[in-house]
Structure 1
Amino acid sequence: MIEISRVTSGNPKPLANYTEASVADGIVFPAGQLASDFKTGVPAEAKKNPAFPYYGSDIKLQTRYIMENLKRTFEAAGASLKDVVKAQVFLTDLNDFAGFDEVWKEYFEVPPPRTTVGTTGLLIKDTLVEIDLIGHTPELGAHKVVTSANPKPLANYSEAVETGGLLFLAGQLASDFKTGVAPEARRDPAFPFYGSDIKLQTRYIMENLKRTLAAADASLEQVVKAQVFLTDLTYFAAFDEVWKEYFKVPPPRTTVGTSGLLIKDTLVEIDLIAYVPKDGMAHEVITSENAKPIANYSEAIAIGPFIFAAGQLASDFKTGVPAEARKHPAFPYYGSDIKLQTRYIMENLKRTFEAAGASLEQVVKAQVFLTDLNDFAAFDEVWREYFKIPPPRTTIGTSGLLIKDTLIEIDLIGVR
C-alpha cells in the first residue's frame, strides 16, 4: 500500500477543509495558494500601501507572498521549488499576467511546465491569482526537461517534464508565438464559411502535443489525464469531434469554461498528464457502475499507484441533472441544490475509486470548479462529510460547465 504523507508548514491555516499538501510515491501535491493570511483577507505585505497607491504592484506583491508560502510548503515536504514539475495559474484579470510572470521567473532557474487561464473568481476578496503546483521529492532524482521542435513560448515555462515515469505537459494553445494564432490554425479570411476555427485550433494543439510526447518517447496512447479550458462552451461539440480522432481509448477529462486565454483569439487550452512506457509500465482503464458520459473520455485511469479520475458533474447523462441531485420543484425552499449536487458527485467518485481498488481516503489532490462562488460554503459542508483528513484542494470560479444547471465539477487524483 502506498503511504500518503500529509504536509503542514508554518504557513497560515486555511478556513476551509483541506490539507496544505500531500506526498505519495515521491510526488508532492500542494493545495492551491492564495495571497491570504486567512484572518484579514489579503494581508498588508501582499498589497500596496493605500497611502502610496502608485508605488508597487498588487499582482507582484501577491505572487511573491504566494511563492514564499509555496517555498515553505515544499520545504516541509523535504523538497524545494527546484522540484516543481507542473504549475497551473488562475488569474482574475489576464492583464495582470506580465507582472505575475516577472516575479515567477525570479523563483525558477528552469521554469516548470505551466497552464495559465482566466478565472471568474477566487475565494478570498481582492485576491488576484491562485497558484497550483505539483512537484517531487529528491528521492526520485533529478527530473528531465522535455523539448521538441514545437514553437517556443514567450513566457517563462518549460514544454514538459518527466519525473518518476510521469510526464507533466504545459498547457497548449494554438499559437506559433510569433503571429498569434498560427495561420494553419485559423480559417482563411477569403473563405469565411469553410472550416471551423475550433477544429483547426484543436488539431494544431493536438499535433504539437504529439510532438511533445514523442520527444519524451511516449505518445497520446500514454495520456492518463486531460483538462480542457474553453472560452465558449458552444465550441465543445466541434472540439470533441476532433478529440476522438486522436484517441482510441480517450483519457479521463475535465472540461470547463474559462474567462480568457493568454493569446488573442485562442479558443481552447489543453493540459495533459501522461507517462513514459518503460519498465513494463501500462495503464488500466477504470469503469464503475456510474452513468456513462455522452462525450469522449474514460471514467478514470490507473497507472502505477496513481488514479486519475475524470472531472465529475451531477448528471445521469440522460435527463441532465437527475431528480436526486436537485430540489423538488414542489418544495423550492427545502434542501440545497449545491449540497445535493455535491453529494451526488461524491457518491459517484466513491464508486470510481472503489472500482480502482481504493477509496476517498486515498485522494491526494482535488480541484473544484464552481459556477458561483456563493455556493462554496454549502459545498464545503458536504465536502467535510466525505473526508476524515481532507486532501489538498484548489477551488476556483468557472464561466460554465457542460451540463445545463450543473453548479460544480470535481476533479480528483488519488493512489491505490
Structure 2
Amino acid sequence: MSIKVINSDVPRPLANYSEASLASDLVFAAGQLASDFKTGVPAEARKHPNFPFYGSDIKLQTDYILKNMAKTFKAAGTSLDSVVKAQVFLTDLNDFNGFDEVWKQHFKVPPPRTTIGTTGLLVKDTLIEIDLIATLPSKPATVIKSDAPKPLANYSEAIRAGDLVFAAGQLASDFKTGVAARAKRAENFPFYGSDIQLQTEFVLENLKKTFESAGSSLDHVVKAQVFLTNLNDFAGFDQVWKRYFKVPPPRTTVGTSGLLVRDTLVEIDLIGYVPRTGLTHEVIKSGAPRPIANYSEAFTLGGLVFAAGQIASDYKSGVPTEARKHPNFPFYGSDIKLQTTYILNNLKQTFEAAGSSLDNVVKAQVFMTDLKNFAAFDEVWKEFFKVPPPRTTVGTTGLLVKDSLVEIDLIATR
C-alpha cells in the first residue's frame, strides 16, 4: 500500500518527523504545538506582554494549532470536517474549558476525542498538543451514538469511517454526578471491592455499547491505549481487561498527570472495525519479548498493522543489559539511546512478521518519562527511518517497567 507524505506551509519542525501521511484513505497527522519552530511560541499564539489581562493563552494556542492543522489536511485533500479521531494532551487540565470553547468553533461535528494531562511538551511555554486522524471526503464517516453517558464536552462518542470504528476515550463517569455510583466502592464498605476494577468494568461496559451501536464488538478492537493516573492500579485494571477480550488487542499503557473528571483513575481509548466477509484481524507474533500483561504484540487488519506500545524490557529481568549502560562504565553510552535502539529493533521484528517494515510506519506516538532525553532519542530515531513518520511526543508520569524511559506506539501499512 502506497504512502504519501503530506507537506503544507505550516512551520517546519526541528525534529525528525513528517507533517502528515496519507495511506488507506486516512490522513495521519503529527501532533502539533503552538510553535513556529524559530522563536518558540509565536506572538500570535500568546497574550501580548503589555496586555496581560486581555485574551487567553490556551485559546490563542488552540486556535493557532487548529488553523495549521486545517492547512495540513487541505494539503492532503481533506479538512477538519473529516477528522475521525482526536487526542489532546494538556500540561494543565485547568486550561480545558478555554480549549474546548475554541475547539467547537473549528468543528461542525466534533470528532471522538481523548483528553489527558501530560507532564510536558517539547517547546517551552506550550500548553497543548493536538493529534488528529482524518478520512478523505470521498469516504464519508458516520457518527455513532449509544445509550452510554453523554459527555459534557464537545466531542462525539465514536465515528465509523469505512470499516474502522474510532471511539472517544471513555472515563468512569455518568457526566452528572462525577464518578458513577456503580464505578466506586460503597462508602460504608471501604474494604470491599476495588475502585480501579469497578471503574475499568464501567468503562468497558460503555465501550461495549459504543461498538455494538457501530455494528461491531470488543472482539473486533485492533488498538487500545490506556492512561492511568496511578500505575499502581495497573494489576487490578489488567485483571478486568482480560475478562473482556478473548484475544487481547495490542495496547499501550502509560501514566497520565490527570483526567478530566475528579477521582477518575483510567481513560481507555479504542480503535476497532466492523466485521464483514473477507475482513478479519490477524494476531502477529515475532521473536520480540513476550509481555507479562494481557495484550497482543500486533494485529493486522486489511492493509494496516497496529502494534502495541513497546518499552525496553525483556519481561524477565526488567530493562535488559543490552538496553542500559554498564554499571562499571557510567560515562560511556546513553541509556535513552540504548533503550530506543532496543525498542525499534523489536518493532522492526514485529512489522516484518506482519509483512511490513519500519519504512511503512504512518503514525508514531512517543511517551517519555523525561523530555530532557528527547534530543538523544531523536538521534537514534532518524537512523531507523528513511522518511520519518508523523509523530506525537509527550511527557508521561511513568511506564510499566522500572527504569524504562520511553514507550513507542506505531501504526503502519502492509
TM-score when scaled to structure 2?
Answer: 1.00
- Code of the residue aligned with 1:148 in structure 2: it is S
Give the CA RMSD over aligned residues: 0.4
- Code of the residue aligned with 1:129 in structure 2: it is I
Q: Secondary structure at the match of 1:138?
A: coil
1:111 aligns with 2:110: yes
Paired residues, number: 414
Distance in 2 between residues matched to 1:263 and 1:82, nearest whole Å: 27
1:69 aligns with 2:65: no
What is the aligned counterpart of 2:289 among 288, 291, 297? Answer: 291
Q: CA deviation at 1:109?
A: 1.1
Q: CA deviation at 1:139?
A: 2.5
**Residue equivalent to 1:123:** 122
Distance in 2 between residues matched to 1:77 and 1:297, nearest whole Å: 33
Q: CA deviation at 1:278?
A: 2.0
Distance in 1 between residues matched to 2:166 and 2:89, nearest whole Å: 18
Distance in 2 between residues matched to 1:45 and 1:226, nearest whole Å: 36
Distance in 2 between residues matched to 1:218 and 1:45, nearest whole Å: 44
1:135 aligns with 2:120: no
**Residue equivalent to 1:201:** 199
1:160 aligns with 2:154: no
Distance in 2 between residues matched to 1:195 and 1:3, nearest whole Å: 50
What is the aligned counterpart of 2:340 among 324, 339, 342? Answer: 342
Q: Secondary structure at the match of 2:345?
A: helix
Distance in 2 between residues matched to 1:92 and 1:58, nearest whole Å: 13
The residue correspondences of 1:344-363 to structure 2 (distance < 5 A) are 344-363=342-361
Q: CA deviation at 1:280?
A: 2.6
- Code of the residue aligned with 2:403 in structure 1: it is D
Cα offsets for 1:360-386 (capped at 9, x unmatched): 000000000000000000000000000
- Code of the residue aligned with 1:346 in structure 2: it is L
Distance in 1 between residues matched to 2:94 and 2:328, nearest whole Å: 46
**Residue equivalent to 1:44:** 43
The residue correspondences of 1:222-371 to structure 2 (distance < 5 A) are 222-371=220-369
Cα offsets for 1:154-208 (capped at 9, x unmatched): 0000000011200000000000000000000000000000000000000000000
Distance in 1 between residues matched to 2:281 and 2:108, nearest whole Å: 33
Distance in 2 between residues matched to 1:322 and 1:278, nearest whole Å: 42
Q: CA deviation at 1:137?
A: 1.1
Q: CA deviation at 1:279?
A: 3.7
- Code of the residue aligned with 1:238 in structure 2: it is G
**Residue equivalent to 2:168:** 170
**Residue equivalent to 2:97:** 98
**Residue equivalent to 1:31:** 30
Cα offsets for 1:50-82 (capped at 9, x unmatched): 000000000000000000000000000000000
Q: Secondary structure at the match of 1:243?
A: helix
- Code of the residue aligned with 1:359 in structure 2: it is S
Cα offsets for 1:213-238 (capped at 9, x unmatched): 00011001100000000000000000
Distance in 1 between residues matched to 2:339 and 2:191, nearest whole Å: 40
**Residue equivalent to 1:12:** 11
Distance in 2 between residues matched to 1:407 and 1:354, nearest whole Å: 25
TM-score when scaled to structure 1?
Answer: 0.99
Cα offsets for 1:226-285 (capped at 9, x unmatched): 000000000000000000000110000000000000000000000000000024310000
Q: Secondary structure at the match of 1:123?
A: coil
Distance in 2 between residues matched to 1:248 and 1:152, nearest whole Å: 28
**Residue equivalent to 2:400:** 402
- Code of the residue aligned with 2:183 in structure 1: it is A
**Residue equivalent to 1:218:** 216
Distance in 2 between residues matched to 1:353 and 1:151, nearest whole Å: 37
Q: Secondary structure at the match of 1:134?
A: strand
Distance in 1 between residues matched to 2:136 and 2:103, nearest whole Å: 21
Point out where structure 2 has 5 or more consecutive residues left out of the alignment. none
Cα offsets for 1:124-156 (capped at 9, x unmatched): 00000000000011232x101000001100000
Cα offsets for 1:379-411 (capped at 9, x unmatched): 000000001100000000000000000000000
Q: Secondary structure at the match of 2:66?
A: helix
| % same residue | 70
Distance in 2 between residues matched to 1:25 and 1:175, nearest whole Å: 34
- Code of the residue aligned with 1:182 in structure 2: it is A
Distance in 2 between residues matched to 1:237 and 1:70, nearest whole Å: 38
- Code of the residue aligned with 2:191 in structure 1: it is F
Distance in 2 between residues matched to 1:76 and 1:351, nearest whole Å: 33
Distance in 2 between residues matched to 1:370 and 1:86, nearest whole Å: 22
